[in-house]
Amino acid sequence: MQFLIESASGRIIQRMCPPGQIECVALSADGRYALAGTGAEKPTLQEMDRDWDSLYKELLKRPRAHKLHVWDVNTGQELVRCVGHTGSVTAIAASSNGRVALSAGADRSVRLWSIG
């Protein structure tokens, strides 16, 4: 569980549950969208007893790895899941109008996404 917190007051604005290892975050200019870039999915406690090398290779192949996720800040609902990177999403930015996002990944690609 991750929290979106108002910096001035420390008040929790929204609880969100990102599906993978968070690599980067951004907010849209209007504050309506929270964006997160993910790497590998998080292992379960049971999986952590396994050999790390084989587990990590498996986590990278799971369906929610290497994505750009977009949430509505007011509801906490995931609105968009952008699929296409083959490596961790390491940088993201939203356009000033909140309709487009740009992501860069460990796969050495930069992608432009329609998000709103």
Per-position b or e across 52-61, b if 16+ CB within 10 A of its CB: eeeeeeebbe
Q: Whole-model pTM?
A: 0.72
Q: How many domains does the structure of the chain reveal?
A: 1
| Cα–Cα distance measured from residue 93 to residue 103, given in angstroms and rounded to the nearest whole number | 7
Structure-token match 């940088």, residue found: 91
Q: Quote the CA–CA distance of 16 and 71 in Å, as a whole number.
A: 8
- Domain of 35 in residue numbering reads as 20-114
pLDDT digits (tens, 9 = 90+) for 18-53: 666 788 989 899 888 889 898 877 777 788 788 878
Task: Answer whether residue 40 is part of any domain.
Answer: yes
SS3 call for 4:
strand
Number of CB atoms found within 10 A of residue 82's CB: 21
